C-alpha cells in the first residue's frame, strides 16, 4: 500500500475516532444539562407554589382566578400545576391540564409520605413526554398536600434532535474535508521522495551528473536530498578517477611498448652487427624496467587500496634514516651537479615501518633533485615540534603552480613543466608517498612557487615517550 494512502488512512481513522468521541460527549453533556435546567425550573416553580400555600395557611380551596393571580408563573403555558390530597385525589389544578387525567403515581405518593420530593417522567400517546415534580407539604408531621408541577419535554427533545442532526451532517463533511486535506498534504510532503526515486532511477541507468533539487528547508527530506547529492558527487568523482586512472595507466604502459616495438622493428629490417643488437636489447631492457616499475607500483597501490599492505609499527630513528637518505641523494645530485645539503637534524623517534619511510623520503628527495636545475641546491632538515616530527625538503627547482599542487598526489599526474623538464617519472611516486604518510597517521604539505622552488614537509607523530 503506498505510503500516502497509508498515512491518509491512519490520519482519517484517528480523526473519525476523535470526532465520534467528541460528538458523543457533546450530545450527552448537552442532554444532561438541558434536563437538569428543566428540573431546576420545575423545582423553583414548585417551591414558589409551596411558599405561597404556606403563606395562605395551607388553604388550597381557592378558585382558579385567584390561583392564577397567586402563581403568575402558572400562566405560562409550558407548566401546569396540580394539588393532591394525601389520598391521591386532585383537589385543585391549573386550567392547562384539564384535557388530561394526570393521576398521582403510586410511587410519588409513597415518596410523599416519607416527606421527599420526586421527579418523574411520563408519556401519553400522541403527546410529547412530560416531566413532573411532586413536593409534599407536611405540617406538624402530617402530610397535608402534594403539590405537583409538570412541563412538556418537547423543547428539550427538539433541541437534542437538532443537535444530533447537526452532528450527523457536519461530522462526515468535516471528516471528508480533512481527509482530502490530509491526502493533499501527504502528497506534498512525499513529492520530494518521488523526485529522489526518479533521480535514483536515472542515476542507476548511468547518468551520474543527475542531482536533486535540495529544498531550502533543513527538514528530513532536505537532509536526505543533500546526503543523496553528496553521495552521487562522490560516486561521480571516483568513477571519473577510475576512468582517468585506467586511461592514464594504459597510456603510461603503451609508451615503453611503442618504443620497444619501434626499435625492434627497425633492428629487424635488415641483418645487423651483434653490437647493434646489444644496443637495441639494452634499450628494450630499460623500457622493460620502466614497465616493471610501473606495474609494481600499481600493484602496490591497488593492494594498499584494498587494505592488503601491512605497515610495521616499530621504533624508527628518523635522524639516522635521514643520514642514509642524504648519502643516496648526494650521489643522485652529483650526476646533475646539484648539491644536497643537510641542515638542522634533531633526533626524532617515530613508530612505523622503516622500509616504507625510507621509500617515502627517497621519493621526495628524488623529486627534489629531479625537478631542480643544474647548479641548484636541495636542503634537507628534520625538526621536532610538539609531538610531531617534521621532515622538510626544499629545492630551488621548477616549482608547481597552485592549481597543480592539489593534483600532484593523484596517480599518474605530472605537470606539463615536469614533462618538459625530464622524461623520467611516471607520476606514481607522490601517490605512494601520500599513502605511506597516511598509514603512519601523518601527512604531506606542499609549498611551491613556479620557477622558484618547492618545499615538501612530511609531518609524522612522534613515538610516545617510553615510561
Instruction: State the residues that interact with ligand ATP by CB under 6 A.
Output: 363, 367-368, 371, 395, 397-400, 408, 413-415, 418, 425-431, 454
Options 8, 45, 134, 367; binder of Mg ion; rule CB under 5 A:
367
The residue (of 376 and 429) whose beta carbon lies closer to Mg ion is 429
10 Å CB burial of residue 450 (0-12, 13-18, 19+) is middle
CB 361 → Mg ion: shortest distance, Å?
A: 12
The residue (of 278 and 292) whose beta carbon lies closer to Mg ion is 292
Q: From the list Mg ion, ligand ATP, none, pick the one residue 418 interacts with, judged by a Cβ distance below 5 to 8 Å according to partner type.
A: ligand ATP
CB 341 → ligand ATP: shortest distance, Å?
A: 15
Cell of 55: 403563606
Q: From the list ligand ATP, Mg ion, none, pick the one residue 8 interacts with, judged by a Cβ distance below 5 to 8 Å according to partner type.
A: none
How many CB atoms lie under 10 A from the CB of residue 336? Answer: 14
Residue 376 binds Mg ion, judged by CB under 5 A:
no
Residue whose beta carbon is closest to Mg ion: 429
CB 144 within 8 A of CB 58: yes
The residue (of 108 and 458) whose beta carbon lies closer to ligand ATP is 458
**β-strand pairing of 377-385 with 339-345:** parallel
The residue (of 182 and 427) whose beta carbon lies closer to ligand ATP is 427
Q: From the list ligand ATP, Mg ion, none, pick the one residue 94 interacts with, judged by a Cβ distance below 5 to 8 Å according to partner type.
A: none
Quote the CA–CA distance of 33 and 163 in Å, as a whole number.
Answer: 14
Half-sphere exposure of 306 (CA within 13 A, CB side): 6
The residue (of 136 and 427) whose beta carbon lies closer to ligand ATP is 427
Quote the CA–CA distance of 408 and 399 in Å, as a whole number.
Answer: 12
Q: From the list Mg ion, ligand ATP, none, pick the one residue 395 interacts with, judged by a Cβ distance below 5 to 8 Å according to partner type.
A: ligand ATP
Q: From the list Mg ion, ligand ATP, none, pick the one residue 408 interacts with, judged by a Cβ distance below 5 to 8 Å according to partner type.
A: ligand ATP
- By C-alpha distance, which of 445, 435, 432, 430 is closest to 393? 445
Residue whose beta carbon is closest to ligand ATP: 429
Cell of 362: 627517497
How many CB atoms lie under 10 A from the CB of residue 248? Answer: 19
10 Å CB burial of residue 278 (0-12, 13-18, 19+) is exposed
CB 428 → ligand ATP: shortest distance, Å?
A: 4
- By C-alpha distance, which of 360, 380, 359, 358 is closest to 369? 380
Which range in 50-58, 195-203, 255-263, 362-370 contacts Mg ion by CB under 5 A? 362-370
Cell of 338: 646539484
Residue at grid coordinates 405561597? 52
Which range in 2-10, 86-94, 365-373, 379-387 contacts Mg ion by CB under 5 A? 365-373
Q: From the list ligand ATP, Mg ion, none, pick the one residue 426 interacts with, judged by a Cβ distance below 5 to 8 Å according to partner type.
A: ligand ATP
Options 150, 192, 399, 429; binder of Mg ion; rule CB under 5 A:
429
Per-residue three-class SS string for 53-86: HHHCCCCCCCCHHHHHHHCHHHHCCCEEEEEECC
CB 393 → ligand ATP: shortest distance, Å?
A: 8
Binding residues for Mg ion (CB under 5 A)? 367, 429
Amino acid at each position: 500500500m503506498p505510503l500516502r494512502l497509508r498515512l491518509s488512512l491512519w490520519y482519517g481513522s484517528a480523526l473519525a475516532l476523535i470526532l465520534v468521541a467528541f460528538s458523543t460527549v457533546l450530545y450527552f453533556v448537552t442532554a444532561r444539562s438541558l434536563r437538569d435546567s428543566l428540573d431546576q425550573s420545575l423545582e423553583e416553580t414548585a417551591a414558589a407554589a409551596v411558599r405561597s400555600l404556606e403563606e395562605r395557611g395551607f388553604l388550597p380551596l381557592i378558585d382558579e382566578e385567584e390561583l392564577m393571580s397567586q402563581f403568575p408563573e402558572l400562566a405560562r403555558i409550558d407548566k401546569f400545576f396540580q394539588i393532591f390530597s394525601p389520598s391521591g385525589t386532585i383537589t385543585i389544578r391549573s386550567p392547562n391540564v384539564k384535557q388530561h387525567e394526570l393521576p398521582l403515581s403510586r410511587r410519588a405518593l409513597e415518596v410523599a409520605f416519607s416527606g421527599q420530593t420526586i421527579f418523574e417522567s411520563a408519556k401519553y400517546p400522541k403527546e410529547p413526554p412530560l416531566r413532573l415534580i411532586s413536593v409534599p407539604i407536611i405540617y406538624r408531621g402530617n402530610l397535608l398536600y402534594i403539590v405537583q408541577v409538570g412541563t412538556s419535554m418537547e423543547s428539550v427533545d427538539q433541541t437534542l434532535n437538532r443537535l444530533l442532526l447537526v452532528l450527523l451532517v457536519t461530522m462526515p463533511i468535516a471528516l471528508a474535508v480533512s481527509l482530502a486535506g490530509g491526502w493533499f498534504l501527504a502528497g506534498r510532503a512525499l513529492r520530494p521522495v518521488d523526485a529522489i526515486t526518479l533521480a535514483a532511477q536515472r542515476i542507476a541507468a548511468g547518468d551520474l551528473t543527475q542531482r536533486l533539487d535540495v529544498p531550502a528547508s533543513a527538514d528530513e527530506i532536505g537532509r536526505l536530498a543533500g546526503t543523496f547529492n553528496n553521495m552521487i558527487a562522490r560516486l561521480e568523482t571516483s568513477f571519473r578517477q577510475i576512468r582517468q586512472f585506467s586511461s592514464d595507466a594504459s597510456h603510461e604502459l603503451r609508451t615503453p611498448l611503442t618504443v620497444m616495438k619501434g626499435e625492434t622493428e627497425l633492428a629487424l629490417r635488415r641483418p645487423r652487427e651483434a653490437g647493434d643488437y646489444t644496443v637495441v636489447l639494452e634499450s628494450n631492457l630499460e623500457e622493460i624496467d620502466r614497465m616493471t616499475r610501473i606495474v609494481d607500483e600499481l600493484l602496490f597501490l591497488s593492494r594498499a587500496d584494498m587494505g592488503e599492505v601491512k605497515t610495521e609499527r616499530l621504533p624508527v630513528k628518523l635522524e639516522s634514516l635521514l643520514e642514509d637518505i642524504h648519502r643516496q641523494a648526494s650521489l643522485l645530485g652529483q650526476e646533475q651537479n646539484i648539491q644536497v645539503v643537510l641542515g638542522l637534524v634533531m633526533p626524532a623517534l617515530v613508530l612505523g615501518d622503516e622500509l616504507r619511510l625510507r621509500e617515502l623520503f627517497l621519493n621526495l628527495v628524488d623529486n627534489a633533485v629531479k625537478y631542480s636545475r643544474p647548479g641548484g641546491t636541495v636542503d634537507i632538515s628534520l625538526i621536532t615540534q610538539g609531538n610531531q616530527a617534521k621532515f622538510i625538503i626544499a629545492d630551488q627547482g621548477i616549482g608547481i603552480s597552485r592549481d597543480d599542487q592539489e593534483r600532484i598526489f593523484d596517480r599518474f599526474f605530472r605537470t606539463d613543466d615536469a614533462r618538459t623538464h625530464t622524461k623520467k617519472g611516471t607520476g606514481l611516486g607522490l601517490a605512494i608517498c601520500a599513502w605511506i604518510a597516511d598509514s603512519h597517521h601523518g601527512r604531506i604539505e606542499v609549498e611551491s612557487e613556479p620557477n622558484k622552488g618547492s618545499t615538501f614537509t612530511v609531518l609524522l607523530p612522534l613515538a610516545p615517550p617510553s615510561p
